[in-house]
Amino acid sequence: MLIDKAKCIGCGQCRPFCTMSSIHFTRNQKGTKVHCMVDEDECVDCGICYRAKVCPTDALYQPIHGWPRSIRGTFSNPLAEHKETRVPGRGTEEMKTNDITERFKRGYAGMAAEMGRPGTGARLRDAEKVFKALAKLGVEFEKNNPLTGLLINKETGEMNPEVLNEKVLSAIIEMIIPLEEVITVLDTLEKAALEIDTVFSIDLVARVDEDLSVPTAKIMEKNGRWHSFHGKTNLGLGRLQVKGADA
């Protein structure tokens, strides 16, 4: 995002809407006029300040960026759609469509590390550090996840070096693991958290057992690990489409 300093009157109405606090006041060379400017290195191109429509002079504008800068907006702007997955936002549909996809099977857990947050963001070099730590365990990274698509070596967790300095509002590392590996992966993520310059939250999902107990919750409780027992529930209302049937 950029600000046309010729139009900007320095009112600062856009500043509260910046998710990275990257809009600052500055003066012209003579020091006679105050206007706002965007720290482009910190800006994640989320577009919120622009969509808020608070600028009285329409000084905010979004330039078209080339690679690799272009991925900032794709991950950070919820209205942007990833070309590869056709899904907007940071990740995939995860468990929300498990009725149809059967992505998470019994005996397995889905785990994710949600890198970054508003006010913090995440450099992709930090995502690579987490990828590399997980790759040593041989986890299965979700192939349809846009962040996975930036890997050049899934066996080592190495990402495309061109994107490592790019900053995004948030991005998700998604994986599927056997239930018995949940604690090992959790320990690895906690160690990786000490090596990075951002924050991440951990998601953990599994299919409910026949007795309506949640296997991942039992694992966490057995190992004395704190967890927030909240989430998105799949009710089983989806139905697989029969090939050849009318839509």
- For residues 168 and 247, give the distance between their C-alpha atoms in angstroms, rounded to a whole number: 38
What confidence tens digit (pLDDT) does each residue in 183-221 have? 999 999 999 999 999 999 999 998 888 898 999 999 999
Among 80-89, 126-135, 157-166, 190-199, the least confident range: 80-89
CA distance 115 to 106: 27
**The domain that contains 25 carries what CATH number?**
3.30.70.20
Q: Is residue 233 part of a domain?
A: no
Alpha-carbon gap, residue 185 to 237, rounded angstroms: 31
- Residue 218 is part of which domain span? 81-222
Q: Are strands 140-141 and 60-61 parallel, antiparallel or unpaired?
A: unpaired
Does one domain contain both 31 and 93? no
pTM above the 0.85 mark?
Answer: yes
For residues 111 and 212, state if they share a domain: yes
Instruction: Convert the pLDDT of each residue in 96-128 to its tens digit.
Output: 777 777 778 889 999 999 999 999 999 999 999
51 and 145 together in one domain: no
| 14-66: pLDDT as tens digits | 999 999 999 999 998 887 899 999 999 999 999 999 999 999 999 999 999 99
Q: What CATH number is given to the structural domain containing 216?
A: 3.30.70.260
Ranges 1-15, 128-142, 218-232: which has the least confidence? 218-232
Q: How far apart are CA 14 and CA 23, in angstroms?
A: 8
Number of domains in the chain: 2
Q: Same domain for 49 and 165?
A: no
CA distance to 44, 122, 124, 126, 160, per residue, from 165 (Å): 12, 10, 6, 9, 11
Q: With beta carbons less than 8 A apart as the criterion, state whether 122 and 116 touch.
A: yes
Say yes or no to pLDDT of 226 above 50: yes
Residue 242 domain-assigned (yes or no): no
